[in-house]
A and B are shown apart, each in its own frame.
Chain A
Amino acid sequence: MTENQNKTKLSRHQFLGIAWFGALATLVGEFFAGLLVFIQPNLEGGFGGIVRAGKVEEFLPGSVNLVQAGRFYLVRNGEGGFIAYWQRCTHLGCSVPYEEEQAAFRCPCHGSVFDEHTGEVTGGPAPRPMDIFPIEITDGEVFVDTGNPQERSAFSDDQIAYG
């Protein structure tokens, strides 16, 4: 028998075998595909919405303010511009406390240090600056979108929001 004949001559027995195993494989495949969809987390609600931080004049120029509800630091620079850092360390997710005497954020987990004006790494193993949240200032009030954290590789002036 040549190969060609072999291919065309599929016995009923073989065909049914392939069909049954195909059906079984499909079922297993469907199960795992369904499982993958099923275990996807639902990310809506709670922390992750738009948080109202307060009135512009509540934040003094040159101050660092922790807004607990949104888990971010709202920093106002000398010129009055705002930037919101997520409190989460970019290294391994620890909450980063602000240390006043060093004028920097210092992570207790692995000692990463972030500059208070730019959020850039000045020490420790963190791979990138602190993530920031977009800021919207309307009618003299500061709103921060905590559902939309933005990773960045360096600080630039356009990350600062002015009222």
Chain B
Amino acid sequence: MTEEKDKDEKEAFEKSSGKTYSLVEMVKAPLTMVDKGPDDSIFSFPIVAIWEAILFLGMMVFLIGFSLIKDAPLEELANPLITTDPAKAPWYFMGLQELLEHMHPFFAGVALPGALVVFLLLIPYLDQSKAGIGRWFTSERGKLITKWSSIYAMIVFPAFAVIDYFFPPREIFRDVFPSWVTQSLIPVTILVVLAFLPVFYVWKKGEGKATARELIIALFTVMIVAGFALTIIGFFFRGPGFEMFWPWDMPAGYSPLDNL
């Protein structure tokens, strides 16, 4: 600290022998509790502890109840010679397995999920604004973007899966184009375009005023909802031979719920 500053502080907060306290430091940032009134916060103990106990008890009641109703699945002993039909990954990877059906495994299994994780890690650094912290969807606009991105993704990605299932470029152009065109270029391009379309729309509509937060909301919503939709399709709508069926109309007595 320079001497001049020292002087300023001395003048503003003169030391007095009658005081039992003294100035230790000037804080530049606003204190968390400033301007919030005395009633805004409460002691954590015991109210938070009680809420936590209630939540824990509720969870245990739910888990024990569910465990009494439904048993964990156990099929026959593992046999490396016979593959079960269908062979499915755990349900939280069914979105990935569904993607694997539509493109080269490098993109479906490595590049796209890798890009998703990198995007997740970058979110706080891409969006540096402090607007709307602690507020669901930031603003009314954010709410609208979330809503329409969800509806869009909920329609477009299942449509992608179904159309690609019935008219797979991989089979249609098998002997026309090399496999890197039909298995990588075409499906990956379609998927990336579909994912970024809402982002592009928000950016265009905002005429340069769309915030980073709004663009990221669009992309994040599309990714999460697409992942959800593909997981549902892979889990409920894929049966023996990994063919598409209605979940209630599976052949050979197969039920998707056996795979939990």
Contact = CB atoms under 8 A, between A and B. Distances in A.
Interface of A: 68, 71, 87, 91-92, 94-97, 106-111, 122-125, 127
> Chain B's interface: helix, strand, loop or mixed, by majority?
loop
A125 B101 contact: yes
Given A92-B105, A95-B83, A110-B101, A125 B241 contact: no
B80 interface: yes
B170 interface: yes
Contacts of B97: 110
B104 A127 contact: yes
Given A111-B243, A125-B105, A127-B105, A97 B83 contact: yes
Contacts of A122: 174
Contact of B80 (A95, A107, A108, A124): A95
A39 to B, nearest CB: 21
Interface in B144-168: none
Contacts of B242: 108-111
A109 B83 contact: yes
B171 A109 contact: no
Given A125-B100, A125-B170, A108 B241 contact: yes
Contacts of A68: 81
Contact of B86 (A91, A109, A127): A109
A127 B179 CA distance: 8
B87 interface: yes
Interface in B13-28: none
Interface string B75-96: 0000011111111000000000
B86 A108 contact: yes
Nearest to A87: B81
Contacts of A87: 81
Interface string B38-82: 000000000000000000000000000000000000000000111
The 9 closest A-B pairs by CB, nearest first: A108-B85, A94-B83, A95-B83, A109-B87, A110-B242, A108-B83, A111-B242, A94-B87, A111-B241
5 contacts: A95-B83, A108-B87, A122-B174, A124-B170, A125-B183
B240 interface: yes
